[in-house]
Structure 1
C-alpha cells in the first residue's frame, strides 16, 4: 500500500502525539521513500505509539512482532502444519505464514519491537528480507515482497538489561531516528491527557521528579513519563481513600514511592536505595508558591481554549490522545 505523504497526515499525527512533529516528519519521509526505519530511544518515549498511530493515520497495514530471546527464525517466517503435512505433504497450501512472510506477501509494515532482544540468527533472516526484498523458505520456495513491504523496528539503549548491540549490518539497512525524552512542557501535557482532572501543581511536581531521576548521580536509569502518569493517578485514588487531597505531601510521596521506586535503577555501590532517591527528589522539588502563582497568572491571561490546565499549549483540534 502506498503511503500518503501529506501535511494533513503529519498534522493528524502531531495532534495525537505530543512533542514529536520532527520525528513524525522524518519517519513519514523515510517510509514514503521506501526505506526501512529504526526508532532508537529509552523506554517510554513513544516509539511504539508513534509507529502504531502512523500506520492507523496513513491507512497502512502493520504486522506486529515482539522481539525476545525466544523469537526463532521458524517463528518469524512460519512453519508447515504438521497434521496436514502427513496427508498432503509439503505443499504451499499447508504452510502457516509467520509474521515476516505475512508482511512480505501483503506488502505490510513489519513492526519489530525490541529488535535488540532478538537472537542474531533470527536477525540475519530479517536482514535478508530487508536487503533482497525476498526470502527463501525451505520446502516452500521463494517469497517475494509485495510493494509497500518495509521493516520498522524499535529498540531501547543497548545497555538496558536483556539487550545486545545491534550489528552494523542492521544499521546499514535502516534510517535511524533517535527519540529522546520530550521537554518538560510536553511531558506535562502527556500527563494531563492521561489524567485531565489531575491538579496542575501535582502534574508539575510529578514531571519534575521524574525528569530529575534521569540526571541523579546515584541513578543509572531514571523513570519515563509513565512514572509521572502513574504518580498522579495513584495520588488521586489514594487521596480519596484517605479523605484528603492529591496535592497533600504525604499522599504524593506515597504515590511517588509506588510509581517510581520500581522504575529507578540505582548505581551499584552508591549505598542508597530507590526509595531514598525518590524521597529526596520529592522533598527537593516541591512547587514554589511564587511559581505556582505565576503559572496561574499565565493561564488567566490566556484564552482557555488555547491552553491546557498544565500550562502547555493545546494542539490544533483539541487535546487528542496520549
Structure 2
C-alpha cells in the first residue's frame, strides 16, 4: 500500500464520517453514494419527501468544496433553463453564452420526474458526454461532474416517467428510507443547535476527488471476475420473467462501481462479493419485468436471487 493510497483512504474515511454526521443511521447509502462519486457515476435517489435526500447531496458538495447548483424541476422548466442560453450583446454585436446551472461539479435535480420529457432530455448529453451543445456550440462541463437526482415514488400527479434511455445513464438508484426509532430520536438532538450541514468542514477538494477517480479506475479486475460481471448481465436478458435486461452500458457501470467500492473498502482488487452487493443498485432500475411476472408476484429481488444461483462464482483469483 503506497503513501498516496493511504492518503486517499484517510480522506475517504473523513468524507464518509462527514456524510454520516448529517444522515444518521444510513451507512450503507452513504457508502453507495461515495462509490458512485468515486466512479464518476450519476445517482437517482427515489424516496418520499423529508428523508434527507437533499441534505445528503449538499453534504457531499460541501465536503469536497465543489460547485453546487440545484434545479427544482417542474413542468414549466425549459431545456435552456438547465443548459444555458446564447444572448445577443448589442455593444459587442455578437451572441454571448450565459451558462446554466448544469455548469457545476455537483448538480441536484430535485424531483426530476416533474420536468417534461423534453427538459429531461436536455440532461442526457451532459450525463453521458460531460458537455452541452447550445446553438451549435459545444461547452465542456467542469470536472468532476455528478448529477444527483431525486424523485418521489408516491406522488404521480403532474409527473413524467423517466424514459429507459435516461434511467440507463444513472449508475445507481437507491432509497434512504425512514430511520429507526433510536436514530430518529438522535436526529432530534443533533439539530438542537442548528443543522449539521451548516457545521460541516471540507475534507478534500474536487481536484483531489478527480485524482482519486483516476486511481480507482486502476483497481485490478481478474479475468474471472470480468466473466462473472458479464454472465450476470447476460442472465438478466435471458431470464423468463424479464422483458428488458441490463444493457452493455450497465455492465460497464457495474464494474466501474465495483472498482470504486473496492477502493473504498481498502482493496486494490475487485472480488465477486463487490459485484453481487452492487448488482441490485446498478442493474435494478434498468430492468423491466414482464407484466405477467409482476402479476404472479415476481420481484427484482427474486430475479437477482435466481440469477446468482445460476451463475458460477469465481473461487480462486490470481492478482
Separation (CA, whole Å) in 2 of partners of 1:12 and 1:110: 19
- 1:41 maps to 2:53: no
2:77 matches 1:80: no
In the alignment, the residues of structure 2 paired with residue 158 and residue 131 of structure 1 have an alpha-carbon distance, to the nearest angstrom, of: 28
Q: Does 1:30 align with 2:36?
A: yes
Other-structure match for 2:230: none
* SS class of match (1:26): helix
Determine which structure has more spread, i.e. the larger CA radius of gyration.
1
Partner of 2:93: 89
1:142 alignment partner in structure 2: 138
For 1:57 and 1:133, locate their aligned partners in 2 and report how far apart those are by CA, in whole Å: 22
Contact 2:74 2:114 survives alignment (8 Å): yes
Deviations 1:19-78 (A, max 9, x none): 122111110110111111111111010000000011112222212111111210121122
Cα distance, 1:12 vs structure 2: 2.1
The reply on whether 1:127 has 2:120 as its aligned counterpart is no
Is the Cα contact below 8 Å between 1:69 and 1:119 reproduced in 2?
yes
2:79·2:119 contact (CA, 8 Å) conserved in 1?
yes
Decide whether the 8 Å contact of 1:73 with 1:121 is kept in 2: yes
Aligned counterpart, 1:21: 27
* Higher relative contact order (Cα pairs below 8 Å, separated by 6+ residues): 2
Structure 1 SS opposite 2:178 = coil
Let me know the Cα RMSD of the aligned residues.
2.1
Distance 1:33 1:137, change over 3 A: same
Offset, 1:16: 2.5
Gaps spanning 5+ residues in structure 1: where? 197-322
SS of residue paired to 1:188: helix
TM-score normalised according to structure 2 size: 0.53
Query: What is the alpha-carbon distance in structure 2 between the residues aligned to residue 60 and residue 145 of structure 1?
Result: 13
1:221-244 Cα distance to aligned partner (Å, 9 max, x none): xxxxxxxxxxxxxxxxxxxxxxxx
User: Equivalent of 2:73, from 62, 67, 70?
Assistant: 67
Q: Deviations over 1:175-201 (max 9, x none)?
A: 1122211112211222233458xxxxx
CA–CA distance in 2 between the matches of 1:165 and 1:180? 21
2:58 is the counterpart of 1:56: no
1:189 alignment partner, one of 186, 191, 195: 186
Q: Which runs of 4+ in 1 moved over 4 A?
A: none
Partner of residue 153 from structure 2, selected from 153, 157, 162: 157
Secondary structure of the equivalent of 1:152?
strand
Question: Residues 38 and 154 of structure 1 are in contact (CA less than 8 Å); yes or no, is this contact kept in structure 2?
Answer: yes
Superposition pairs of residues 241-280 of structure 1, within 5 angstroms? none
SS in 2 for 1:88: coil
Separation in 1, partners of 2:142, 2:58: 21
Which residue matches 2:268?
A: none
| Structure 2 gap ranges (5+) | 1-7, 194-319
Shift of 1:7: 1.0
Once residues 61 and 13 of structure 2 are traced to their aligned partners in structure 1, the CA distance between those partners, rounded to angstroms, is 15
